[in-house]
Amino acid sequence: MTERRPVGLEVRSEVVLPTNVAPEDANLVADFTPNLIDVGEHHLCPGCGEPIAIRAVMDAIAVLGLADKSMAVFGIGCSTAFSNNLDVEVLQALHGRAPSVATGVIRMRPELAVFTIQGDGDMGNEGLQEVLHAAARGENIVCIMLNNGVFGETGGHLTVTTTIGQRTKNTIEGRDADKHGHPMRIAELIAQIDGVGYVARGAVNDAGNVARTKRMVVEAFASQQAGNGLSFVEILTMCPTGWFIPTEDAPDYLAETIAGTHAVGVLRQEQSEQ
C-alpha cells in the first residue's frame, strides 16, 4: 500500500505506542489504550473482535489529528454498546440508516471527518441501499462495516455475508446456497461504484492483520479529508458467541472460514489531485 496523505494533514506518530521495547511500568490496560477510548466497563463478550476494530478507527483518528473534528454515526448491533466508551462525538442512527444520517451531517458540516460504524447485518441486510446510494452520490464520508457473518447481538443468525457452510442459529447444518442463497461480498460491491475514493477489507484475527487494518483506516480517513468521496473499510471481526465456538478458536475460525470468502486487501484507491 502506498503512503499517501492529503496536503496539510499532519501524522502524529508520537501517539503510536512503541512495541519494540519493554514497557517501563506495570502492564495496565489503560497504559496501552488510546486516549480516545475509555477503558471502563462495556457489554461486549470476551474474545469479541469489535473493540479491536473500533480501536483501529480511534487510532487512525488520533494519528491524523482528527479527534476534534470527527463525528461518528453508529448503526445498531453489538458495537453500539461500545460507542459510550469513545471520546468522539457520536450520533445514533436507526437500523441500516447510518450512511443517510452521515450524509446529512457532512452536507451541513463538510469540514468534519464523518464516519459510520455498522455491522454486516445492519449495513448489509437492514440497509444495503443506504450505503450503495451514499457511495454512488460520492458522499464524502468514511463507512466502516464490522463483518462477523452473523447478527451477533440478536443471537447469531445468518446475514448476507455468512459464508457457505458457516453454521449460524438458523443454518445449523451450515449455509447451503440452494436453501439460503449465496453470500454477498460487500466491499467488492462498493468498490465498483463510481464516486468511491477508497475501499479495503481488513481483519483483526492476528497482530499482522490488526496493523494492516489500522493502515487501511488511516488511508480511508486521509482519502475523506482529501475530498475523494466515500471511503469504505470492511473489517472481519471475531464473534465466538454467535459462531458457537470456544473463544480461543475464533481467530483461526475467522481465517479459515470467513476470510476464505471475504479476502483481505485493498480493492480501490483513487489518487488525490492535491
Ligand X SMILES: Cc1ncc(C[n+]2csc(CCOP(=O)(O)OP(=O)(O)O)c2C)c(N)n1
**Grid coordinates belonging to 161:** 455475508
Q: Is position 203 an interface residue for ligand SF4 (rule: CB under 6 A)?
A: no
Q: Is position 205 an interface residue for ligand X (rule: CB under 6 A)?
A: no
* Residue from 248, 170, 77 nearest 162 by CA: 170
Q: Is position 143 an interface residue for ligand X (rule: CB under 6 A)?
A: no
Which listed option, ligand X, ligand SF4, Mg ion, none, makes contact with residue 45 (CB within 5 to 8 Å by class)?
Answer: ligand SF4
Stretch that binds Mg ion, among 44-52, 89-97, 118-126, 184-192 (CB under 5 A): 118-126
Q: What is the DSSP string of 36-64?
A: TB--S---PPTT-SHHHHHHHHHHHHHHT
Under 8 Å CB-to-CB from 208, ≥6 apart: which residues?
A: none
Q: Is position 239 an interface residue for ligand SF4 (rule: CB under 6 A)?
A: yes
Under 8 Å CB-to-CB from 33, ≥6 apart: which residues?
A: 39, 55
CA 71 – CA 49 distance, rounded (Å): 22
* Closer CB to ligand X, 185 or 268, in the complex: 185
Residue nearest to Mg ion (CB): 119
**Count of Cβ atoms closer than 10 Å to residue 33 Cβ:** 15
Q: Is position 148 an interface residue for ligand X (rule: CB under 6 A)?
A: yes
**Grid coordinates belonging to 150:** 452473523
Structural contact between residues 165 and 158, judged by C-beta atoms closer than 8 angstroms = no
Q: Is position 241 an interface residue for ligand SF4 (rule: CB under 6 A)?
A: yes
Exactly one of 75, 99, 152, 197 binds Mg ion (CB under 5 A); that residue is 152
Q: Is position 79 an interface residue for ligand X (rule: CB under 6 A)?
A: yes
* Closer CB to ligand SF4, 127 or 152, in the complex: 152
CA 21 – CA 239 distance, rounded (Å): 32
Exactly one of 53, 54, 62, 78 binds ligand X (CB under 6 A); that residue is 78
Least distance (Å) between residue 258 CB and ligand SF4: 13
List interacting residues with Mg ion (CB under 5 A): 119-121, 148, 152
List interacting residues with ligand SF4 (CB under 6 A): 44-45, 48, 50, 78, 148, 152-153, 239-242
